[in-house]
């Protein structure tokens, strides 16, 4: 990929091509639980290169405003969250959740022109989502399956990843790597072990992809050898501009990620597990809280930085690698992924990469993102703004060798609420 395309894809700050595209979709900002209490402590959060402050006001509504006071630029993190707004601790200017300045104690007559940036928010799936684009272009709230389910059916966590969002998200699109770096973990992890799919995944590392463009993004059909007359298909989705959906293993929950730029060298990796038709069991939830499956254990509570990180070589254990307990010596699905993705550098050198046939989906997703970003700059409306197109589901299924997986999927995996979960 040439330098200019790489720049287009990886730069997401205000005014950039990709940044402008991403601002046309609802952005996951933080867990609702981080600002659980009305008038509770405000929280700093950086998204798409913008330093913001989130708080829950006296009415229980979420505000997401610029971190800095319009007067002389003091951080409102040090302000007071009181009576439906944040009051700057320096000279007492006060801002409500719409960013409107509602009090200038020393000069009330200038209140109107002291407002700061604010973004509208909704809460879905236990997550605060913000819309950071032009006010007249706000789309309907997200409808990815997990964000419409009852709270007891869903577990959501997030972690900081120390690299550009693109190379992180591409790990979510590229299902070919499951047969390698995650190879041994699947047998022991409580959210993967004990299902038939693992036999097929481990026996056949040469996934053959069929890739379908759809209104929300891409559907990937990864084919591995099944039994004598079948193939094992893993059907995953990438949805504009940052969602990936992962097929379940056996009776374990479905899963997904969202890859959201913090700045160009860091991203939020959101990890979600969910059952469409039933609550997660206490045991499942317990494992997730402990950081099993696609979740992680944190370095410190509330830091959202994983305990296994670049400073400790991700806890790499050469003995475990030799003894075939961890393929790369790193334990944990997420750590296995982000250790490799961070090792590419903060932004992968795309000019030097030599892509392979299994990278086809990544190439398509890149092309779709670049086309959408460049199109938007020329006035073409972005794709996938219709939230109902996000109601797709991943699956793992054995199909007869002559079956058409695309037709099979189109019937059962779109508008997924009306269909059973397909998993082996």
Binding site residues, Fe ion, CB under 5 A: 337
Using DSSP, state whether 424 is helix, strand or coil.
coil
Using DSSP, state whether 118 is helix, strand or coil.
strand
Residue with the CB atom nearest Fe ion in the bound state? 337
Please state the closest distance from residue 69 (CB atom) to ligand FES, in A. Answer: 3
- Angle between helix 360-377 and 165-173 (nearest 10): 130
As a whole number of Å, the end-to-end CA separation of the chain is: 37
CA Rg value for the chain: 22
- Closer to Fe ion at the Cβ: 48 or 198? 198
- Closer to ligand FES at the Cβ: 74 or 406? 74
Contacted entry of ligand FES, Fe ion, none for residue 337, CB cut-off 5 to 8 Å set by kind: Fe ion
- Closer to Fe ion at the Cβ: 116 or 169? 169
Please state the closest distance from residue 89 (CB atom) to ligand FES, in A. Answer: 8
CA dist., res. 189 & res. 195, Å (int) = 11
378: left (phi over 0), alpha (psi -120 to 50) or beta: alpha
Q: How is the beta sheet containing 26-31 ordered, strand by strand? A: 26-31, 127-131, 121-124
Residues that bind ligand FES (CB under 6 A): 69, 71-72, 74, 88, 90-93
- Closer to ligand FES at the Cβ: 88 or 296? 88
CA dist., res. 48 & res. 267, Å (int) = 9
Contacted entry of Fe ion, ligand FES, none for residue 315, CB cut-off 5 to 8 Å set by kind: none
- Closer to ligand FES at the Cβ: 89 or 387? 89
DSSP 71: T
Please state the closest distance from residue 169 (CB atom) to Fe ion, in A. Answer: 12
- Angle between helix 3-10 and 360-377 (nearest 10): 80
Please state the closest distance from residue 71 (CB atom) to ligand FES, in A. Answer: 3
CA dist., res. 65 & res. 104, Å (int) = 17
Contacted entry of Fe ion, ligand FES, none for residue 99, CB cut-off 5 to 8 Å set by kind: none
Please state the closest distance from residue 77 (CB atom) to ligand FES, in A. Answer: 12
Please state the closest distance from residue 167 (CB atom) to Fe ion, in A. Answer: 12
What is the secondary structure of 91-110 as a DSSP string? T--EE-TTS-EEE-TT-GGG
The token pair at 361 is 């989906």
Contacted entry of ligand FES, Fe ion, none for residue 69, CB cut-off 5 to 8 Å set by kind: ligand FES
Contacted entry of ligand FES, Fe ion, none for residue 263, CB cut-off 5 to 8 Å set by kind: none
- Closer to Fe ion at the Cβ: 100 or 360? 360
Contacted entry of ligand FES, Fe ion, none for residue 285, CB cut-off 5 to 8 Å set by kind: none
Please state the closest distance from residue 99 (CB atom) to ligand FES, in A. Answer: 14
Query: How many CB atoms sit inside 10 A of residue 267's CB?
Result: 28
What is the secondary structure of 366-378 as a DSSP string? HHHHHHHHHHHHT
| Contact between 382 and 240 (Cβ < 8 Å) | yes
- Closer to ligand FES at the Cβ: 74 or 320? 74
- Closer to ligand FES at the Cβ: 90 or 298? 90
Please state the closest distance from residue 88 (CB atom) to ligand FES, in A. Answer: 3
The reply to whether omega before 267 is within 30° of 0 (cis) is no
Query: Beta 121-124 vs 208-214: how paired, if at all?
Result: unpaired
Contacted entry of ligand FES, Fe ion, none for residue 88, CB cut-off 5 to 8 Å set by kind: ligand FES
């Amino acid at each position: 990929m040439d330098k200019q395309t790489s720049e287009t894809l990886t730069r997401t700050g205000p005014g950039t091509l990709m940044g402008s595209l991403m601002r046309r979709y609802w952005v996951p900002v933080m867990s609702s639980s981080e600002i659980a209490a009305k008038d509770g402590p405000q929280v700093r959060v950086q998204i798409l290169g913008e330093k913001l402050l989130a708080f829950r006001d006296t009415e229980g509504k979420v505000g997401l405003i610029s971190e800095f006071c319009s007067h002389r630029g003091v951080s409102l993190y040090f302000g007071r969250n009181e009576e439906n707004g944040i009051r700057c601790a320096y000279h007492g200017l006060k801002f409500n959740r719409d960013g409107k300045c509602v009090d200038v104690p020393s000069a009330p007559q200038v209140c109107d022109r002291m407002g700061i940036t604010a973004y509208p928010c909704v809460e879905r799936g236990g997550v605060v989502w913000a819309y950071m684009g032009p006010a007249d272009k706000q789309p309907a709230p997200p409808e990815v399956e997990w964000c419409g389910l009852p709270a007891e059916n869903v577990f959501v966590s997030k972690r900081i990843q120390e690299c550009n969002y693109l190379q992180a998200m591409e790990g979510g699109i590229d299902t070919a790597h499951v047969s390698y770096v995650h190879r041994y973990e699947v047998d022991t992890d409580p959210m993967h072990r004990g299902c038939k799919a693992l036999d097929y995944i481990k026996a056949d590392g040469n996934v053959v992809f069929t890739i379908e463009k759809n209104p929300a993004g891409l559907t990937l059909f990864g084919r591995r050898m099944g039994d004598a007359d079948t193939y094992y298909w893993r059907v995953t989705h990438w949805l504009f501009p940052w969602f990936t959906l992962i097929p379940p293993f056996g009776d374990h929950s479905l899963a997904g990620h969202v890859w959201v730029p913090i700045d160009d060298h860091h991203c939020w990796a959101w990890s979600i597990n969910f059952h469409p038709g039933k609550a997660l069991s206490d045991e499942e939830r317990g494992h997730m809280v402990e950081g099993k499956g696609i979740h992680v254990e944190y370095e410190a509570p509330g830091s959202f930085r994983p305990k296994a990180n670049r400073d400790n070589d991700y806890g790499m254990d050469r003995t475990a690698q030799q003894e075939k307990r961890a393929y790369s010596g790193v334990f944990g699905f997420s750590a296995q992924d982000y250790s490799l993705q961070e090792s590419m550098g903060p932004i992968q050198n795309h000019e030097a990469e030599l892509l392979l046939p299994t990278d086809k989906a990544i190439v398509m997703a890149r092309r779709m993102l670049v086309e959408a970003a460049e199109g938007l700059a020329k006035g073409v409306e972005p794709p996938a703004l219709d939230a109902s197109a996000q109601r797709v589901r991943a699956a793992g299924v054995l199909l007869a060798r002559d079956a058409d997986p695309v037709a099979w999927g189109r019937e059962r995996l779109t508008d997924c609420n009306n269909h059973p979960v397909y998993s082996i």
